[in-house]
Structure formats: structure tokens, C-alpha cells
Amino acid sequence: MKISCAFGPAEQTPDDIVAAESLGYDRAWVYDSPAVYLDPWATLAVTATRTSRIGLGTAVVSPGLRHPLVTASAIATLESLAPGRVSIGVGAGASARWLLGQKPARWAEVEQYIVALRGLVRGEEVEWEGKALRMLHPTGWGPARPIDVPLLVGAEGPRGLAVARRHGDGVTTFVHTAPREFDWVMRLVFGTVLQDGESADSDRVFDAVGAIAALGYHATYEWQGQEAVRSLPEGERWLDAVAQLPAGTRHLALHAGHGVVVNDIDRDIVPRHMAAASTWVGTADDISRHIEELCAAGVTEVTYQPGGKDIVGELERFAEVAAEHRGRAETGSPR
């Protein structure tokens, strides 16, 4: 099993990935959500010049944000800086588009995007929006095509998994575990290792994982609607706070800090016990058992998103727990 890490790219992310490489993490993934994070490709380009071993990737690129030729050129740039270390994920971009007040891309659109992107990095001519496209970079302006970069599909349900079967080298998930038919299954996890005698509702724990607990309310609101939110603890209060926001700009306040910082709406409403209930908050033995369960379920790469003010400390503690699982039961994930 590979043990990787993930970040909403920020100013300090290159430093954090340098630390992750020294701690033995196999790969570092960064998210693509321009309303709340810095640019993933620029972040990875800087990181590529400061690292030598760790894999680098995007999880996941949102088709609704980037023209496929723009993404193909970004892949070529990163591959030229970190040859053999690049992987990418592509998905419907649900959370990235919520921050824009839009719905995720349809899976038919995602599939078209992946087909075009695959063809472009292979050096083929593809059709996009009724026009022929090809990477025309002359010799010396980029790596030679074909550019061999593995592609994961960010999929949770049957439509996404079907696209992954047809076009992906594997899948990335953060809720469900993909079927064992995939040789590469990357699972995103959140949590923190409790310190001796520490309570699961401590200030430090909430700092580390509170934004993920709040994300559960955001996702429920967007995917399942208000009735589903009412079933959550303090769900009615949360809905009342959201209803007071101007409709035209509601999505801006609702999704502020998405997944990395607890925003003004969530701070006093989302109960602290939800942080432990919705993430891996526990002792080193608890976290180790969670990793073992994912390994047994067919996950080949556990990717940990550290949170809070002490990102490097979180990386250190998780790496120490995960060390015994690295390399076990691996089924051949690329690179």
C-alpha cells in the first residue's frame, strides 16, 4: 500500500510537500478549486524544483474550469520538471463548482474531457467544441509526445465508475471504496492522531478536522437538500443561518474555507463531536486499524489530508502510524 498526502494548495504547500517527502510519503496530491485555493499547477511546479522523489498530482482537475489543451500543456510543463513523477485525477468537480454557485459537470462531459485530454498528451489530433486540437509544442518547448502520465477518475457512484473502467488507470474516492476490479484505488482520508490523554473534542482536534466536519453539512446541503440537513445535529440552526444569507451570494459564505478552515457559519453551529464522528480521530492504534481495514477492502493508496495550524506535525504523526502499512498488499498502482 502507498501512503500519500493531499493539500488545498496554499502559500506554504511546497514547504509541506518537501517535509512530506522527507517523511517518506509516496505522493502528494493537490486540489483544484480556484475560489478557495491557490493554483495547483503553479504550486506543483514550484514543488517539483524542490523535491526529487515524491510523486506529484492533481486530485482532481475539474473539466468545467480548464480547457483540455490548457490542462495538457500544464501536464507537459510538470512532467518536464518532474519526469516520471506526475499523475493526475479528473472528476466532475463538485466542490470546486459549488464555490462558483454551479452544479458539478455531467459524467458525459467528464468522459469527453478525459478522452480529449488522453489524446492530446499522446500527441494525437482530437476534436473539441467542433474544432481540431493538437499539442503543437516544437522540439525543445516541452517533453516529447506521447507523455505517459497515469490518470485517475474521481468517482463515487456507478456513472463515474463506468467512466473509470473505460478510460482511467484507477479511481480516487473520499466516501466509498471502489470495486476490487481496479488495480489502483486511492482513498482520501481525514483525521488526527490523539495525543496522550487528549479528548476528541479538544480545541486542537477541532482545529485539525473541524473544517471536514463542516464540509459534511455543505455536501449534504448541495447533494441531498435541506431535509437531509435537518437530520444532522444542529441541522435546523445551520439552515437558519444559511437562509439569512443573500441568495445571490449565499454560495460564497456557505463554502468559504472549504475543507481547510472552519468558516463563520460553521464555527458556532457544527457540534465538535461531529469532527470525531466524520473523520479518523483516534489513538495510533485506532488509525492503524482504519488503514488496515482499507487495505483489506482493496484500497492501494491511502491519501491523508492534514489540517489545522500544525500541518507538518500532523504529517509526522500520521506517517509514524502508517509506516508499518507501506508496501503491503499492493496490487500494482502505477509509479
Q: Looking at residue 133, which CATH number applies to its domain?
A: 3.20.20.30
Q: Total domain count for the chain?
A: 2
Three-class SS state of 76: helix
- Crossing angle for the helix pair 40-48 and 68-81, to the nearest 10 degrees: 10
Q: Which of 274, 306, 290 is nearest to 208 (CA)?
A: 306
Both 102 and 29 in a single domain?
yes
Gap between the Cα atoms of 69 and 253, Å rounded: 32
Both 135 and 244 in a single domain?
no
Decide if 330 is inside a domain.
Answer: no
Q: What is the pLDDT of residues 187-233, one digit of tens each?
A: 999 999 999 999 999 999 999 999 999 999 999 998 899 999 999 99
For residues 252-275, give the mean pLDDT.
Answer: 91
Residue 309 CA to its chain's centroid (Å): 19
Both 85 and 123 in a single domain?
yes
Both 75 and 91 in a single domain?
yes
Q: Following DSSP, what letter does each residue of 232-246 receive, concatenated?
A: STTHHHHHHHHHTS-
For residues 115-131, give the mean pLDDT.
Answer: 97
Q: Residue 23: pLDDT band by 50, 70, 90 thresholds?
A: very high
For residues 67-80, give the mean pLDDT.
Answer: 98
Q: Which of 247, 244, 186, 240 is nearest to 217 (CA)?
A: 240
Averaged pLDDT of the chain:
93
Count CA atoms closer than 13 A to 295's CA, side-chain side: 17
Gap between the Cα atoms of 7 and 139, Å rounded: 34
Both 90 and 181 in a single domain?
yes
Decide if 243 is inside a domain.
Answer: yes
Q: What is the pLDDT of residues 236-255, one digit of tens each?
A: 999 999 999 999 999 999 88
Residue span of the structural domain in which 217 resides: 203-275
Both 269 and 176 in a single domain?
no
- pLDDT for residue 94: 77
Both 48 and 117 in a single domain?
yes
